[in-house]
Amino acid sequence: MKVYNDIAQFKGVDFPVVTSGTFDGVHVGHRKIIQRLKEIAGQNGGETVLLTFYPHPRMVLFPDDNELKLLSTQEEKIKLLEGQGVDHLIIYPFTKAFSRLSSVNFIRDILVNKIGTKKLVIGYNHHFGRNREGSFEHLQEYGPVYGFEVEEIPAQDIEHIEISSTKIRSALQNGDIKTANTFLGYNYTLAGTIVKGKQLGRTLGYPTANIEVADKYKLIPANGIYVVEVEYEGVKHKGMMSIGLNPTVNGTERTIEVNILDFEKDIYGEKLTIRFIDKIRNEEKFESLEKLKSQLGKDKEHTIKAFEKLSL
């Protein structure tokens, strides 16, 4: 996949089959659009082009919105799109000035003049341009004028629930990992650097790696205890993760800690990738450290059994 951080770098291809959007999380619905792009490109000897935006539009339009959380960092999104077999990824800088571009100018100046779109594929209820004035009907009207065709992919649903990035974010914020993973089509991922913690887990026989996530917009799932897969230096390990305040010891800061099963290496300063498999339980305040230690033993058993089921 060729990545362009400046649309001027894109020199054009034969029969560009294009889609555009934020593609946060690159979920099942997004993948359906990309699959259709590839089908059309294959039928016409063309190449797939995905136009996305950075920063996320809401970061620019609502900079004081502290509630904004995203499913994928920019690095993660690029990796996910590459995994889907996109030929060309154009990352267009989203600015306030760009947000004021009319839908007609977006079609003419970017989709047509800069990309040379022959076929445009968009998701259900896709809007673009100033005040989100552009729509599928708008594209159908201007397509013939500028020499391209447009196709709308119906909303994808699982068990009659329409998939969207918003619904996946909501599931994660409620600790519903299984629903989030089903809608994503893969296990939700978190990456970070190992930093020094209070080392409470070590005293209980369950040493943990404290993870610091650099991207402040990356969504951290709800507080609780989770079954996770931990990847370190390309090797995958079983793990259980705690997200929360450590109420048993009256903690006041939210931490992300992972106990990697059967792993004793010192990895301070190293990077880990965490994939969420399931939620074990909510965070609890125990009467004593002994009772917490007893519960951690049960959590470990739960984790081992969860991995045994996955290997069946």
**pLDDT tens digits, 4-14:** 999 999 999 99
Q: Please check whether the domain covering 2-162 is classified as CATH 3.40.50.620.
A: yes
Query: What confidence score (pLDDT) does residue 22 get?
Result: 94
Average pLDDT over residues 220-240: 97
Of residues 252, 23, 5, the one with CA closest to residue 121: 23
The structural architecture, per CATH, of the domain 187-310 is Beta Barrel (2.40)
Residue position matching structure tokens 């629903």: 179
Go through 139-152 and write b for each residue having 16 or more CB atoms within 10 A of its CB, e for each that does not: beebbeeeebebbb
Give the phi and the psi of residue 177 in degrees, each rounded to 5: -65, -40
The predicted model scores a pTM of: 0.93
Average pLDDT over residues 296-312: 91
CB 166 within 8 A of CB 69: no
At 266-289, the pLDDT tens digits run: 888 999 999 999 999 999 999 999
Q: Is the pLDDT of residue 257 over 70?
A: yes
Average pLDDT over residues 237-255: 91
Helix, strand or coil, per DSSP, at residue 89: strand
Specify the higher pLDDT residue, 136 or 90.
Answer: 90
Distances (CA, A) of 87 to 41, 49, 161, 229: 10, 6, 30, 30
Domain spans of the chain, in order of start:
2-162, 187-310
Query: What confidence score (pLDDT) does residue 159 get?
Result: 74
Query: What confidence score (pLDDT) does residue 207 get?
Result: 86
Query: What confidence score (pLDDT) does residue 201 get?
Result: 65
Distances (CA, A) of 280 to 84, 92, 224, 227, 298: 31, 40, 8, 7, 10
Between strands 255-260 and 161-162, the pairing is unpaired
Q: What is the rounded (10 degree) CA torsion for 247, 250, 254, 256?
A: -60
Mean pLDDT highest for which of 56-65, 141-150, 194-203? 141-150
At 94-130, the pLDDT tens digits run: 999 999 999 999 999 999 999 999 999 999 888 888 8
Q: What percent of the chain has pLDDT over 70?
A: 98
Q: What percent of the chain has pLDDT over 90?
A: 78
pLDDT, averaged across the chain: 93
Query: What confidence score (pLDDT) does residue 199 get?
Result: 66
Average pLDDT over residues 229-253: 92
Query: What confidence score (pLDDT) does residue 131 get?
Result: 83
Q: Is the pLDDT of residue 169 over 60?
A: yes
